[in-house]
Chains A and B, each alone.
Chain A
């Protein structure tokens, strides 16, 4: 399909597409196991065929042409989600988890998708964020906002610490370094009494503004809301901000240079890309995203234990990124949403959880290694035409839930 062709009622189509997406997400979250899994299968097949027919490209082009409308309709549709889920505790919990996992996967995507450095330690970064939050709020009894700040600072430092060795290594060796650090992290957490050792820390406080707590049940218009609803709104807000940042980085020179390093480091060096700085940047920003996700996770679960930050969990994040589509923020968000819902819906077969992930990973790698929504060719021509016409300075990509 020609992406430059314009249909007459494009603004309406944009709104319609957003409404359809949110409806599908809502149905996927709320239905029972079997219908929900059928919807997920339909989404996967639909995305594959839509990609083949060029429909996804067309949709992206349409969003770029009407980006203001697209942005505000997405905002309204996505914020309708917490309203729709207002009384359903468990579904709201799943939605929160999906948003948090999407943040972590966006962070991982900087390293794995853009720069092709397979980082096996996203769970460790997440754990650093979650444990900073827990230590600040429970062990020291301070404000959760300070915990969030500490989570960002510590995950940033950890990203630097793991990023530095990667400047000297690449390929398998880099993967082994991150793998070793991930395994060492789990062992270390288990053996620090201050962090609760194998028992973890319970009673982690969630964020609050004055008397308004983000994890508390409120009554609104006589309806008792699920306690996760304020946190869900916060998570969606943070996620949208992160998607925006990731997309902005993706289309700027920095994102291009990350791709350049992935394809040929020597060539990147010759072109004047500061490889060391760019790699460190990918690690630090990725780990900060993971750290923020971890801090929110601590607030959501109100308990942190080492079992949530193991090597197996890292593999799950990797699986999400590969399923969704490497180096495409929208794809990563879709992948993490789908896998989170699959995992929560098959919870009754908890023993089969890991095997399901592994089989999905092998299948995706063999059948479609690029993921459900693969990375797009950066269409600067379209962006700049838009910019010239409107006389605007910014050239941003669309934001999608």
Chain B
């Protein structure tokens, strides 16, 4: 019985991280009508940015002297700023040029962008971190070894060495972000503008909404959410590799599609469903088959219910 409960707990935790990425996908899809495929890689970039800053901070000696909460917050701010910038960069370079072309062009260009981001981490994480670390801390510098190998992520959230606290924090943070996003989307003017754009771009332009500013705001918010998702994933998995992003991104996209691409609640349901399938298959059948079964579930969903769990059916008009 306790094995069963353990599985449920880890499924919920995995589902939380999938949900955050899936929300990134559905935010971008809602506003831009394109699939931004490098969401997973942006999140992993955030994870590595946080890891790098942590290493530099270790060298500076602030980890020992500052309070833990302050450290976590400053790391999150760094990660969020970097991911937001990366989101804007992605938008400028691989989505804006394809506004008037077929919808599959941005898909391909963002996939290529994801590879660029992934390889940049793999190639430059170690030299950049070590260089900056030496620059700031001089002789006390703490360095990382071999950026292409998996990196250990500091267990910042497991206070007193227990993972229960960490698990609770992960779930709480996810719920908090979802609530904030819900309030933002439904109660503020900027959020309502984003919803209007997702329903009808031309009409919202006519009513005086600054579409360009809203799109930029979406990418900033999406980047921040992805950074937090990456931070939570790092804490949950404890070991991160630079090429985790592609798989993470495909899972997040699958979760968004299974739930319903335009719907934020669908992203939660889809993420949880995918995580439960994956964790239970790996618990009872074997780890090797978890991804296979998860993907087969996704394929079956797309074939028989392409509009997702939540989501109205669209009829094609001529």
Contact = CB atoms under 8 A, between A and B. Distances in A.
6 contacts: A171-B103, A180-B299, A355-B115, A362-B116, A366-B97, A369-B101
Nearest to A318: B108
Nearest to B120: A355
A180 B101 contact: no
Interface string B88-123: 000001100110011111011101110110111011
Interface in A340-362: 351-352, 354-355, 357-359, 361-362
A51 to B, nearest CB: 19
B298 A176 contact: yes
A354 B119 contact: yes
Interface of A: 116, 118, 165, 168-169, 171-173, 175-177, 179-181, 183-184, 187-188, 190-191, 266, 311-312, 315, 318-319, 322, 351-352, 354-355, 357-359, 361-362, 365-366, 369
B109 A362 contact: yes
Contacts of A361: 108-109, 112
B94 A362 contact: yes
A307 to B, nearest CB: 13
Given A180-B299, A183-B295, A355-B116, 14 more contacts: A116-B104, A118-B108, A171-B103, A171-B104, A172-B257, A183-B250, A183-B291, A311-B246, A351-B122, A352-B123, A361-B112, A362-B94, A365-B105, A369-B101
Interface string B228-254: 000000000000000000110010011
A169 B303 contact: yes
Nearest to A183: B295
Nearest to A265: B316
A82 B33 CA distance: 50
B288 interface: yes
Given A116-B102, A168-B303, A191-B289, A358 B295 contact: no
Contacts of A318: 108
Interface string B274-303: 000000000000001101100110110011
Interface in B299-316: 299, 302-303, 306, 316
B313 to A, nearest CB: 13
B84 interface: no
Contact of B299 (A172, A177, A354): A177
Contact of A180 (B35, B250, B306): B250
A168 B306 contact: yes
B291 A266 contact: no
